[in-house]
Structure 1
């Protein structure tokens, strides 16, 4: 089954798709937003068979097309179709709808720059697209412990993500939380900002590979969200505050109220940070305290510890309504 995300004009033409040629035209018009949402193994088998025999390419096959207005609809359909089967892990499944999902995030969040491939992060507001996919999962599951190398497509994970999709929680809140993350990251990055990447030390830019914070130099404000652990910690802390914990979901009215309050308080903090000079900003961010705390982390389960640590740190910031004299109380979580 092929999934496709269309715009309003394309959606208006859907009722008139009465012939295979009409469907093919839509597929051709939106080919950049095509995804295989079911039948990946069969597709791989067909490709292998055709490579062994050109005659296979002359056979007629049935292809179903699922046309949607949002990438969330494709992801929900993908989860439903794969229920009860031997599944891929959840990250692999989301990567199938990678392009439409990233396009949706890019259209709803104002990044400084979206990074792909070998791009390096030099400034606040720059994020790798694959890190956003993991953040997407973390938001739906409302937990930081996501082992993307293991099979996360268990029934509970499916239900949790499906619930977030059907309740339109991604559309209503996820993108707003990511925007808060981007804006906060930009504000933090004013401290010792890399002005010209062309003349900077090549080792200073972040390559997007998750490494323990102790292996990084923590001398720039940007270094905080260089870490995927910090990014996921912020996303999950906000998600729990807005939506409640899994099994203790808040109603839409409370969630909207909480999200609006977070946006307002975060915006106020960013405005206050903008007024600070370099020395004041340095004292406020308290990188020395954070570095010391991270240097004393346990030697085992480092990734899990860092994610839980940053979730706790940002939970304090949220509980204090972003009104703190410095980030030191957060880093001492």
Structure 2
């Protein structure tokens, strides 16, 4: 049984929204076909004693649960009736995604599959309220997911930002492997980055701020990049940011191709804690240098000290190194660890200063890694 209850237009995402009810058996069958269609959904909540176990008990008692929100990316005829549109959408399960209500859906499937006879004996059908967005764009889906899920603890801030910026990870990145939060794997080479770390860096670039964004700043970031408007998004794309940063990290990798933090270090370079990174990629393929770089290069572009990210790529091949630069970098980060209350923020400040001094053609340490490291360390320590 499927019955339409309302049809509305969502002008923000330019999509018609059909609200309807359907019996639990029909929804459980549909949900089984679409449950894995949305790669950006939260993971299943499986803790015993969770609110979702209570929900399962409520479903057995025919509790009315909040509506479940779906989205269809199918291209539909504009002159068709709502009934015809809904029928077509529900039959095209490959293009249906769950935007809100994943945990409710999992609970419904579980309860129905384990209690079919119970529901078949009911005098009246147990009805599920559902709404579906028609012919919605990818960015519209991401925006609606963000606004529907913000504030729910099972979805981490990083996961929300992955959703927000996911369209930027669809292009070619010259052999770069981008690891999302749901991939559950780690960075293992100079050619791989965690998507969340790249997002940290890109957000710092957009905001000219190396410090982490908090959960209440997400919607401000949406506005900043004009994510769902009909206007152009950020003038400088995520891919441009990644490519420019990568040229710098590859310059270090090329200069120190087999570098591993040594077992023995001279007294003046010894550290108190574990090194920030034992290999080049373990130093540079992290959030702290990415955010520092993002904030630094944004300020340099804003002040017209450099023309843009393309210029960074050209400058990377001209960097001047000393043999102990990586050891000095690790040493300076260790010194900062002992001075800043929030170690990560201190490291981000250091990297911002380092990249700013390194790429400032008007400065005394332009393209000189050693001098830029020294100046960044002294300035960062002065800011404690």
TM-score (norm 1): 0.64
8 Å contact kept, 2:200–2:287:
no
Corresponding residue number in structure 2 for 1:266:
312
Corresponding residue number in structure 1 for 2:12:
none
The 1:47/1:119 distance shift into structure 2, 3 A limit, reads same
Q: Which aligned pairs between 1:107-122 and structure 2 lie closer than 5 A?
A: 107-115=171-179, 116-122=183-189
2:278 is equivalent to residue 232 of structure 1: no
2:342 is equivalent to residue 301 of structure 1: yes
1:81 is displaced (CA, Å) by: 4.5
1:287 is displaced (CA, Å) by: 1.8
Structure that is richer in helix per residue:
1
2:359 is equivalent to residue 331 of structure 1: no
Residues paired across the two proteins, number: 279
Q: Which aligned pairs between 1:38-49 and structure 2 lie closer than 5 A?
A: 38-40=100-102, 42-43=104-105, 46=108, 49=111
Matches of 1:259 and 1:50, distance apart in 2: 63
Q: Could you list the per-position Cα deviations for residues 82-141 of structure 1 after superposition, in whole angstroms to 9, with x for gaps in the alignment?
A: 68x77765334345x38xx5564141533433344334422x232123433444554555
- Secondary structure in 2 aligned to 1:161? helix
Corresponding residue number in structure 2 for 1:178:
242
Q: Which aligned pairs between 1:181-220 and structure 2 lie closer than 5 A?
A: 181-193=245-257, 215-216=274-275, 220=279
8 Å contact kept, 2:244–2:312:
yes
1:39 is displaced (CA, Å) by: 4.0
Corresponding residue number in structure 1 for 2:266:
none
- Secondary structure in 2 aligned to 1:269? helix
Matches of 2:324 and 2:93, distance apart in 1: 49
1:304 is displaced (CA, Å) by: 1.4
CA RMSD of aligned residues (A): 4.4
8 Å contact kept, 2:211–2:348:
yes
- Secondary structure in 2 aligned to 1:2? strand
1:222 is displaced (CA, Å) by: 3.2
8 Å contact kept, 2:168–2:237:
no
1:177 is displaced (CA, Å) by: 0.8
Corresponding residue number in structure 2 for 1:209:
none
**Which runs of no fewer than 5 residues in structure 2 stay unpaired?**
1-68, 262-270, 377-384
Q: Which aligned pairs between 1:92-131 and structure 2 lie closer than 5 A?
A: 92-94=159-161, 97=163, 102=166, 104-115=168-179, 116-122=183-189, 124-131=190-197
Q: Could you list the per-position Cα deviations for residues 205-242 of structure 1 after superposition, in whole angstroms to 9, with x for gaps in the alignment?
A: xxxxxxx9952375654343133211222123334555
2:41 is equivalent to residue 2 of structure 1: no
Matches of 1:108 and 1:74, distance apart in 2: 22
Matches of 2:210 and 2:186, distance apart in 1: 25
8 Å contact kept, 1:191–1:220:
no
8 Å contact kept, 2:358–2:366:
yes
Larger Rg: 2
- Secondary structure in 2 aligned to 1:297? helix
Corresponding residue number in structure 1 for 2:65:
none
Structure that is richer in strand per residue:
2
- Secondary structure in 1 aligned to 2:178? strand
Higher RCO (CA < 8 A, seq sep 6+)? 1
- Secondary structure in 2 aligned to 1:261? coil
The 1:140/1:269 distance shift into structure 2, 3 A limit, reads closer
TM-score (norm 2): 0.57
Matches of 2:286 and 2:143, distance apart in 1: 29
